[in-house]
C-alpha cells in the first residue's frame, strides 16, 4: 500500500532505516560528529534533537528512547546541552520495530567488539614495526644502493 505525503528514505533529509542497509538485521557502527537542534518540518515549531555522523550526510532525529540511550553512553546528566555532544563517540545503529513502524535505535558498541578492534590494531602496528614484517606497499622494503634491475 503506497504511503502518500511521506518521503522515501532517499528523498528524506533525515536518516532513515533504509539508509543503514537492506534486510531486517542491518547494523552499522557510526561515529558521532556532533549534535544539533533542528525542525522536523519547517512549517511546524516542533524541534528535533539531531545526531550527526561521519558516515552519513543526513542527521538522525532522536526520539526520547535514543536520547536517553545517548545520555547513558556518554554518562551525561539530564541537563546536558544537546549541542555539546562530543564528537568521536562510536555508536551502533540498528533497525527496530516501534509503535510507529520501523525505526533506528542507537546503542553502545559491545565491549568485546571494541577490545577485538583494539587488539587487531595493535597487532597490525606490531607487525608493521617488526624487522621481519612482510614487504608491501604499507611496509615497503628499504631502498638499496645496488643497481639490481632484473632485466
Three-class DSSP labels, 37-98: EEECCCCCCCEEEEEEECCCCCCEEECHHHHHHHHHHHCCCCCCCHHHCCCCCEEEEEEEEE
Residue 58 pLDDT grade (very low, low, confident, very high; cuts 50, 70, 90): very high
Task: Count CA atoms within 13 Å of residue 31 on its CB side.
Answer: 5
Question: Does the model's pTM come out above 0.75?
Answer: no
User: Each residue of 123-141: pLDDT tens digit?
Assistant: 777 777 777 655 555 556 6
Lowest mean pLDDT across 3-7, 16-20, 88-92:
3-7
Mean per-residue pLDDT for 27-35?
86
* Residue 39: strand pairing partners: 47
How is residue 26 written as a grid cell?
A: 542491518
Residue pointed to by grid coordinates 539508509: 19
Mean per-residue pLDDT for 41-59?
81
User: Each residue of 64-89: pLDDT tens digit?
Assistant: 888 888 888 888 776 667 777 778 88
Q: Is 101 left (phi over 0), alpha (psi -120 to 50) or beta?
A: left
Amino acid at each position: 500500500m503506497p504511503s502518500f505525503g511521506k518521503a522515501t528514505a532517499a528523498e528524506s533529509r533525515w536518516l532513515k532505516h533504509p539508509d543503514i542497509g537492506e534486510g531486517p538485521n542491518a547494523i552499522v557502527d557510526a561515529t558521532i560528529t556532533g549534535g544539533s537542534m533542528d525542525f522536523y518540518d519547517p512549517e511546524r515549531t516542533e524541534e528535533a534533537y539531531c545526531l550527526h555522523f561521519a558516515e552519513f550526510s543526513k542527521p538522525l532525529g532522536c526520539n526520547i528512547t535514543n536520547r536517553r540511550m545517548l545520555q547513558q553512553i556518554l554518562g551525561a546528566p539530564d541537563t546536558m546541552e544537546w549541542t555539546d555532544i562530543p564528537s568521536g563517540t562510536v555508536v551502533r545503529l540498528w533497525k527496530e520495530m516501534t509503535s510507529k513502524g520501523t525505526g533506528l535505535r542507537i546503542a553502545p558498541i559491545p565491549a568485546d567488539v571494541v577490545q577485538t578492534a583494539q587488539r587487531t590494531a595493535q597487532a597490525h602496528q606490531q607487525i608493521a614495526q617488526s624487522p621481519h614484517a612482510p614487504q608491501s606497499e604499507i611496509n615497503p622494503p628499504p631502498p638499496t644502493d645496488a643497481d639490481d634491475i632484473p632485466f
